Amino acid sequence: MNISDDDNNFSYRILFERVFDPIALYRIDGGRIVFEDVNPAYERVMKVSRDEVTGLTFDEVWPDSEPRWQQVITECLAQNRTMHCIGESVDTDSYLEAVAFPIPPGRAAVIFLDRTRLKKSDEALRKRQRQLQALAAKLTITEEATRRAIASDLHDRVGYELVNHLTILRSINSSGIAGEFRAKIQELMTITERIIAENRSLIFELSPPVLKEAGLTPALEELAENILTPAGVHWQIITKGNPDDLEADDSVCVILYRSARELLINAVKHSGASEVSIIINTKPELLTVAVEDNGKGFGVSDSEDGSAEGNGFGLFSVRERLRALGGELRIVSEPNKGAMLIMSCPRKLKYGEFTQ
Ligand X SMILES: Nc1ncnc2c1ncn2[C@@H]1O[C@H](COP(=O)(O)OP(=O)(O)O)[C@@H](O)[C@H]1O
Question: What does the alpha-carbon distance between residue 340 and residue 349 come to, in Å, rounded to a whole number?
Answer: 25
Residue 40 burial class via C-beta count within 10 angstroms: exposed 0-12, middle 13-18, buried 19 and up: middle
Plot region of 226 (φ>0 → left; ψ -120 to 50 → alpha; else → beta): alpha
Give, as ranges, the residues between 266 and 305 that touch Mg ion (CB under 5 A): 266
Q: Is 314 in the site for Mg ion (CB under 5 A)?
A: yes
Determine the 3-state secondary structure of 286 from DSSP.
Answer: strand
Q: Is 315 in the site for ligand X (CB under 6 A)?
A: yes
| Residue nearest to ligand X according to CB distances in the complex | 312
Binding marks (x or -) toward Mg ion, 209..248, rule CB under 5 A? ----------------------------------------
Instruction: Name which of 251 and 317 has its Cβ closer to Mg ion.
Output: 317
CA-to-CA dists, residue 112 to 20, 71, 198, 234, 260, angstroms: 10, 14, 70, 61, 49
Instruction: Name which of 11 and 301 has its Cβ closer to ligand X.
Output: 301
Identify which range of 27-35, 117-125, 149-157, 305-313 contacts ligand X by CB under 6 A: 305-313
Q: Terminus-to-terminus CA distance in the chain, angstroms?
A: 78
Identify which range of 13-21, 167-175, 258-266, 287-295 contacts Mg ion by CB under 5 A: 258-266
Give, as ranges, the residues between 250 and 269 that touch ligand X (CB under 6 A): 266-267, 269
Determine the 3-state secondary structure of 26 from DSSP.
Answer: strand
Cβ 200 to ligand X shortest distance, Å: 29
In degrees and rounded to multiples of 5, residue 286 shows phi and psi of -125, 145
| Upper half-sphere CA count for residue 43 (Cβ side, 13 Å) | 14
Cβ 121 to ligand X shortest distance, Å: 28
Identify which range of 175-183, 278-286, 312-320, 348-356 contacts ligand X by CB under 6 A: 312-320
| Largest distance between two CA atoms of the chain | 122
Q: Is 309 in the site for Mg ion (CB under 5 A)?
A: no
Identify which range of 94-102, 124-132, 158-166, 295-303 contacts ligand X by CB under 6 A: 295-303
Cβ 330 to ligand X shortest distance, Å: 13
Q: Is 207 in the site for Mg ion (CB under 5 A)?
A: no
Q: Is 271 in the site for ligand X (CB under 6 A)?
A: yes
Helix axes 160-173, 179-206, angle to 10 degrees: 160
Please, are residues 343 and 329 in contact by the beta-carbon 8 Å criterion? yes
Q: Is 296 in the site for ligand X (CB under 6 A)?
A: yes
Question: Which secondary structure element, helix H or strand E, spans residue 58, and what is its range?
Answer: helix 58-61
Residue ranges in contact with Mg ion by CB under 5 A: 266, 314
Residue ranges in contact with ligand X by CB under 6 A: 266-267, 269-271, 293, 295-298, 308, 310, 312-316, 339
